[in-house]
Structure 1
């Protein structure tokens, strides 16, 4: 097998909050292959967005990032700031979750695209303007030449998201980090944006890490997935394998909350309780207070993320029971 494009090992991010240090991302490990779409799934507050920001060290001052993220033989976590700036927005780009706050409201869209081109290409002024227009055409914004000099507030929500994608693609990155790119968009626009990202992935040969809480999006777009809870990856594997036979109770709960064809009059299963705060993560398995399978060992010993079947990992003391329950559901 060829080496992964990105190899993350033991990634950990800590913040100061309320006079104490809390861990938002805890010992996260995963690989991203060439041309692959990896889905990062979980409820709000599970650490998905912080994981992406930690890779590029886009965290508030005072945050500490540890672990290793190997990119072309170099560790992004330990990389000097000057070198990281050449990678960030260049070889690795990011689509942020909310385009209205990520885009600068007082600068035309053209200027914001050209900033990336100026930093990561050798194009002159005329070349940058021509490339900016090409990028707006590429992401499906009509009348691109005219709309280049418009401001973000003059774009609809879907058009703003497309402009964000244009900025992320300006340097023709090899890896795209997409942080919930369809948040707050209606379902028709969501579908258009997802199809656009997949089309551009194929045309440009990119890999994608897609953060989402929508398992339908994962099923439609991703080849592999990693499920996060309380800052840790609790299950990881191929999308088909995880959907067919989840090995962690949290994944089973997420899948049970998704409507299925042919079950219109059946009740959806819900996960009782709420995710723990960063300052109050329980000992053992962090999911144990909400888990129907929990026993004493779950409340005392934190399970390791380990293989259950080839390529399918789970951090659960009772993964076999969970798998049996999924078959019976």
Structure 2
């Protein structure tokens, strides 16, 4: 997993509001390698979902998108509409957060899979039908041939999520963008969906960006992780390394807020305060008002994402103090 297939530089997404520009994504830098699962984590409102949508141009004016999204040498932000449509669903597919709103409620599941196959393959009608059945079987839906004519409301929540994965995989994409694919599912179904995604990654050789706020999901499923706060990536690195020694205070706060099963029971540690307004970011580090390690310099200067050891980067001026605090915990 050494070849970079997706390279994002300076990605921004701004929404005009009555209070001024709201930068939901404010200069994101990310790299994704072939066959890699990258976890994108952070609180609600940190810009994770908007980042995924901006990659494929799924946000519309008056939202303003800028930066560079290089996919196999092509900048997706400058592709003509027709060329971008061939990439969407063909080379890069998306699993949206809520299948009941992403699926068309008045079309059978089989027809929704067929639409993707017609758009991105040269298969004939009979071959598309057979492929749709194979896809439902691939994602673990029992009696797949009989379920092709069923509508989304006839599926359970977990089965709807599987059906949406089947639609996403119809053209065998090289990159899968999964936006909290296990939200609102019970623990058993969540584990099945994550296991399925990893199996499909191995079988099809896909790369995956997995958006989640659940660090347990990251530990179970991801090779590397990127932590977002207030629209920016503040830390990246291999999952095991970041869990063992976080270098950003926000990452440390997220890890400390997770219940631990070892040792005596202790009260959970929360991150005090709230994320900043997207229209009125504080000067300097956006996390400084909530950070126990912040100095006057942190409140005045904006830290940039800088290499920090092997295959890691961090945007923090107090990395040594943060790492020491994790070791003392």
Identify the TM-score tier after normalising by the shorter chain.
over 0.9
Q: In structure 1, what is the equivalent of residue 130 of structure 2? A: 130
Which secondary structure does the structure 2 equivalent of 1:211 belong to?
A: strand
Q: In structure 2, what is the equivalent of residue 99 of structure 1? A: 99
Return the TM-score normalized by structure 1: 0.98
Give yes or no for contact 2:178–2:210 (8 Å, CA) kept in 1.
yes
How many Å separate the matches in 1 of 2:181 and 2:2? 29
Q: In structure 1, what is the equivalent of residue 58 of structure 2? A: 58
Q: In structure 1, what is the equivalent of residue 321 of structure 2? A: 321
223-232 or 265-274: which moved more? 265-274
Q: CA deviation at 1:15?
A: 1.2
Gaps of 5+ in 2: none
Which secondary structure does the structure 2 equivalent of 1:122 belong to?
A: coil
Q: In structure 2, what is the equivalent of residue 245 of structure 1? A: 245
Q: In structure 1, what is the equivalent of residue 297 of structure 2? A: 297
Q: CA deviation at 1:264?
A: 5.1
How many Å separate the matches in 1 of 2:3 and 2:139? 30
Q: In structure 2, what is the equivalent of residue 194 of structure 1? A: 194
Q: Deviations over 1:43-87 (max 9, x none)?
A: 000000000000000013211111111111110111111100000
Q: CA deviation at 1:125?
A: 1.2
Give yes or no for contact 2:19–2:279 (8 Å, CA) kept in 1.
no
How many Å separate the matches in 2 of 1:194 and 1:98? 16
Q: In structure 1, what is the equivalent of residue 312 of structure 2? A: 312
Which secondary structure does the structure 1 equivalent of 2:308 belong to?
A: strand
How many Å separate the matches in 2 of 1:263 and 1:113? 49
Give yes or no for contact 2:7–2:32 (8 Å, CA) kept in 1.
yes
1:172-183 mapped onto 2 (5 Å cutoff)? 172-183=172-183
Q: CA deviation at 1:20?
A: 2.1
How many Å separate the matches in 1 of 2:264 and 2:8? 41
Q: In structure 2, what is the equivalent of residue 255 of structure 1? A: 255
Q: In structure 1, what is the equivalent of residue 85 of structure 2? A: 85
Q: CA deviation at 1:22?
A: 1.6
Return the TM-score normalized by structure 2: 0.98
How many Å separate the matches in 2 of 1:21 and 1:292? 29
Q: CA deviation at 1:268?
A: 1.5
Q: In structure 2, what is the equivalent of residue 219 of structure 1? A: 219
Q: CA deviation at 1:2?
A: 4.7
How many Å separate the matches in 1 of 2:105 and 2:18? 32
Q: CA deviation at 1:307?
A: 1.5
Which secondary structure does the structure 2 equivalent of 1:278 belong to?
A: coil
Alignment CA distance shift 1:107-1:290 (3 Å)? same
Structure 1 consecutive aligned stretches of length 4 or more whose deviation exceeds 6 Å: none
22-31 or 189-198: which moved more? 22-31
Q: CA deviation at 1:95?
A: 0.2
How many Å separate the matches in 2 of 1:303 and 1:165? 38
89-98 or 121-130: which moved more? 121-130
How many Å separate the matches in 2 of 1:27 and 1:279? 15
61-70 or 45-54: which moved more? 61-70
How many Å separate the matches in 1 of 2:147 and 2:264? 44
Alignment CA distance shift 1:264-1:168 (3 Å)? farther
Q: In structure 2, what is the equivalent of residue 274 of structure 1? A: 274
247-256 or 20-29: which moved more? 20-29
Equivalent pairs counted in the alignment come to 329
Q: In structure 1, what is the equivalent of residue 38 of structure 2? A: 38
How many Å separate the matches in 1 of 2:68 and 2:103? 30
Which secondary structure does the structure 2 equivalent of 1:280 belong to?
A: coil
Gaps of 5+ in 1: none
